Structure formats: structure tokens, C-alpha cells
A and B are shown apart, each in its own frame.
Chain A
Amino acid sequence: MDQISAPAPAAQAPAPVRRFKSGSNLERMLAAGHFAVTAEIGPPKSHDAEVIRRKAALLEGCVDAANITDNQTAVVRLSSIASGAILVGQGLEPVVQMTCRDRNRLAMQSDLLGAAALGIRNVLCLTGDHQSHGNHPGAKNVHDIDSIQMVRMVKEMRDEGLFQCGEEISGGGPPLLIGAAANPFADPFELRVHRLAKKAAAGADFIQTQLVFDMSRFREYMKRVVDLGLHEKVAILAGVGPLKSAGMARHMRDKVPGMVVPDGTVARMEAAVDGVAAEDKQARREAWRAEGIRICIEQIRELREIEGLRGVHIMAIEWEEAVRPIVEGAGLFPRPAPEV
């Protein structure tokens, strides 16, 4: 059990110099000091690899890496690691998400080795939505370890070449950049920064946050993060996402646990269809989506001004087409080439 403030134990012997932990594009972009852009791909509820390839093609050139969700909202989908391998084959770098809900420590470590063997270089360690929200509510959840313990486990695998049990990994640990999530909008607020500090101390290299809509609360959160110097220990990417409709904005405000959508944002989405005939569904849809993209672009421009923030993570759920116009509109296109 170690204290955040405790100094790192001295290395027994000088470790071989490895310039990068994983060598991933995302790691090199962050190391070069570029404002990173990642986006999210949701795999299909089928074995259709074409869906992955099509979604990946929409993101090519606009992002530094693409997250692949892991049975998100506890709904069974094509595996994140298999999807990640498809992305690797296509030349788009994946960030494979892995939850503690579906795997014990044996399965996690086995799958992490498998992911690395398939050329995957980034992993995002997550608790996972509760199965009662998904399509197998009668399933047994695992939660053998939690997300912070998972971050620590992956770090020890990578940096010390050890399995969680302490046994050596033959040939060394998997070169994986370690990500974790943070939700600045869940409660208790004071504990949110503490939890980020724990994830940094456990060994997270980067953080992707929950969708940010409430800019003032996020600024307050980031101020505390910077005050504690956490932004220097871990690269923080703010989660953003375009709203598709006023209904979606209201749903996220009222129904999604751990999500804060200000009334002003909802009102803006509602006003987007002012003057558009209610029966013209197509025109309303387009007006909403255009406003959703506009709001998202404005948010990214505001976020870029916040001290300590190192990038954005765009979650355009089942709307990957929106990523390119958002990245372009925010002045983040084309993506710079990382230095080697």
C-alpha cells in the first residue's frame, strides 16, 4: 500500500533506456507537445468487420488514435481487441478499452498480452458500466480488481515485466501506453480530483474524461488538477461530443448518471430548430446536428485555453462522420506528424 506523496522506490539496477513506453503514435504526439486528438469507435453488435473498417476510414487523418469501446453500456459487441487488430491492419492506431466488469485478472493479463502481440499499443483501463444497464442484466459481474488496480497491474507488467502475481513475463512486458478515465462531473466532487491523483500515482500515462458540457465546473476541476501538479504527471484529454438533437441533450441532462449538461446547452439545441417546420423531420435533424457540431467546436476552442489540458477525446456516438468537421472546425486539422 503506497501513499501518493511517497517517493518512488529507487531502482535496483539502472533500467535499459527506452525512449518511449509504448512507441504509440499517441504517446509520441503527447511527447512532442502537440494538442492530441482521439475519437471513439463503437464496434457493431455483429461480426461484420466492414463496420469497423468503414468507421475507421471516417477517422483516418483526423485523429491520433481511436478508442474502441469494450461492450459499452454493458451491451455485447464485437470485441475491442479484435476491432483494434482490424484498425492496426488499416493503419489507424487503436486505444483498446478494457473494463473490470467482464474479466478477472487472468483474462485481463492474457488479453493484454494478446493485444500487444496484435500490434496494439494503447489501453484504456475502465471500471465498466453496470450490467443492469445492458442487454444481459442477469449476468454476473467480475470486478476482481478495480480500474486503479488495473492501471497499476498494466504498469508493472510493462515496466517491471511482472505479472500481477509477481511472476516474470518471459521476454519482457507488453509495450502499452496506459490510459484511464476520469469523470469530473460525478460526485463527490472533492473526491474526483483525489481519484485522478490515484490513477496518476498508479501509473496512468493519459486520462480521457467524461463528456464535458459544463465548462465552468470543468475549469474548476482543472484548476485543482493544476494546483496539485497532476497535469504534469498524466496527460489529460477532455471528452467532448456533438449532440444530435434537443432530445438527446435533455436525455443526457436528466437520465445519464454522472453527466452534467447545462440548461443553456439544452436551450441552444432546442432553439436550433426555431422556424423549422415540425413535420420537416429531415430539416430538423440537420439543423440539430449542425448546431451540435458548432457547440462541440466552440467547446474545443474554449478547452484549448485551459491550462494543463493536453488534448481532446471526441465521442460522436454512432456518428463518426461528425469527427472530421469537428476537428477541421476546431483548427486541429491536419494532424501534425509526431517527431520520431
Chain B
Amino acid sequence: MIVAKQKPLSELTAMLDGYRNVLAVGCGTCVTVCFAGGVKEVGILASALRMARRLDGEPMSVAETTVQRQCEAEYIAPLAEGLDEFDAVLSLGCGVGVQTLAERFPGKRVLPALDTAFMGLPTEQGVWEERCQGCGHCVLDITGGICPVSRCAKQLMNGPCGGSQGGMCEVDTDTPCAWQLIWERLAGQGLADRLLEIQPPRDWSTSRDGGPRRIVRDDLRLPPAEDV
């Protein structure tokens, strides 16, 4: 899932300075599951913002709604009705949700309430960890199902750096060394010798270095109108 967390209230009140009537829009998918932008979080944040503005002597009205998936145009289309009465939309979706709203309603100010952090999973209650950076060329087949691109602070492809000690990363002693994990996993599968293969430099053009990425599936595209 996409994991996000709410921005600090002080940042949001500064961002919303001058606005009087705001629509807070939650999302019912990833950010609901990670307790950052679902129905409940929209309600709590809206109350906090109203209260903060009242205390500042600048009351602001905050309406609340949550769509099932903020990243798809058809789910946000119904918001068009009544949107004129708001002078800003505060999205509690991930960065994709914010941009989907902004693309669909280009005349409207759309502001982010969350900091979108990563693609990951919950490892225990209240803890989420990154597992994928969407680099566009998966290497999990050669690294025992453990991703060195997202889990090694140096994105090493040929084994651990000299800072790995006691199974932990030099950057943060609470973070396991990805290469220690890869080594243990492959050794446990009797495949440790595979780590002797030199992995060549990666082609990062499939990652963000190639610019915004796009996947086109001709088998799924609708035919051009004149062919119909």
C-alpha cells in the first residue's frame, strides 16, 4: 500500500491562511488502511482545523467527505457538484490523490494534508516500513525477495557496505541491514553462492531518472473514435 502521514497542524494552518470555506477530502483506500486520510482522520483533522482557526479569531468552515479512491477520475467526479462554494480543497489522499483532484478541477486550489512517504506494509500495529520504490526493474528474484533498492540506504547491488554490524545498518542501528537479510535468506535456501555473481550497473532509466513514467497497454486501450 501507499503509506502517508498527516502534516503537522501548524503547517496546515499556515497553508490554509486566508481561506474561509474548505472541503476536506479523504480517500478510502491506502491512506485509510494506514490511518492517515480515511473518514475518521478527515473528521478529526477538520475539527482540529476549525478549533485552531477559531482560537486565532479567523473562523474557517471545513466540510468533510471521503471518496473510495481519490486516484481515479470516476470516483472524484461527483465532487464537481457544489465545489464552487469552497475556496480550497484539502486532500487527505496520497500525492496521486491530490494530483488527480487538481487535474480534474484545475480552477480550484487543491492542497495536500498528507506527506506521502512510501510503498510499504505494516510490520506491527502502528509501524509501517518501506518495501518498494517502484524502480521499474524488479530484482527480487536475485535478492531472495528482499529489495536492496528500497531497503539499503546506498542502494547497493553487490553486497553490504562496510558499515553493516550486528545485522544493523550504519545509518540507523534500529534498521536491519538489507544485505544481511538477503544473505541470511539466500543462505537459508542454499543459494548463498548466487551472491558471488557480479551484478552489472543498473539501467536507472526505468526509475524516476527517466522522467515521469507511463505504462501503455495497447490490448486494453479503447480504439480511436473514428474506428468505432
A residues near B (Cβ < 8 Å) are 1-5, 100-101, 105, 127-130, 132-133, 141, 143-149, 152-153, 164, 181-183, 186-188, 190-191, 194-195, 197-198, 201-202, 210, 257-258
Contact = CB atoms under 8 A, between A and B. Distances in A.
B160 interface: yes
A316 B164 CA distance: 23
Contacts of A182: 162
Contacts of A197: 196
B155 interface: yes
B167 A187 contact: yes
Interface string B63-104: 000000000000000000000000000000000000000000
Contact of B198 (A130, A148, A191): A148
B102 to A, nearest CB: 26
Contact of B154 (A3, A101, A105, A188): A101
B157 A146 contact: yes
Contacts of B164: 186-188, 257-258
Given A129-B163, A188-B180, A198 B158 contact: yes
Interface string B193-218: 00111111110100000000000000
A188 B188 CA distance: 14
Interface string B124-168: 000000000000000000000000000001111111111111110
Kindly state the interface size class of chain B when it binds its partner.
20 to 34
A129 B159 contact: no
B143 to A, nearest CB: 13
Given A101-B154, A181-B162, A186-B162, A258 B170 contact: yes
Main secondary structure of the interface of B (DSSP, over half): loop
Given A143-B155, A191-B183, A186 B163 contact: yes
A100 to B, nearest CB: 7
A137 to B, nearest CB: 10
A146 B197 CA distance: 14
Given A187-B180, A191-B183, A198 B154 contact: no
B9 interface: no
Contacts of A128: 154
Nearest to A203: B198
A252 B19 CA distance: 55
Interface string B158-188: 1111111111001100000101100110010
A144 B202 CA distance: 8
Given A1-B199, A152-B198, A188-B180, A195 B160 contact: yes
A234 to B, nearest CB: 14
Contact of B163 (A130, A194, A195): A130
Nearest to A150: B201
A101 B161 CA distance: 12
A258 B156 CA distance: 17
A144 B200 CA distance: 11
Given A145-B201, A164-B201, A202-B198, A188 B160 contact: yes
B154 A146 contact: yes
Given A132-B153, A144-B201, A144-B204, 14 more contacts: A127-B154, A128-B154, A130-B170, A143-B154, A146-B157, A146-B158, A148-B198, A149-B201, A187-B164, A187-B177, A194-B159, A198-B159, A202-B198, A258-B162
B199 A149 contact: yes
A149 B200 contact: yes
Given A194-B196, A198-B159, A132 B171 contact: yes
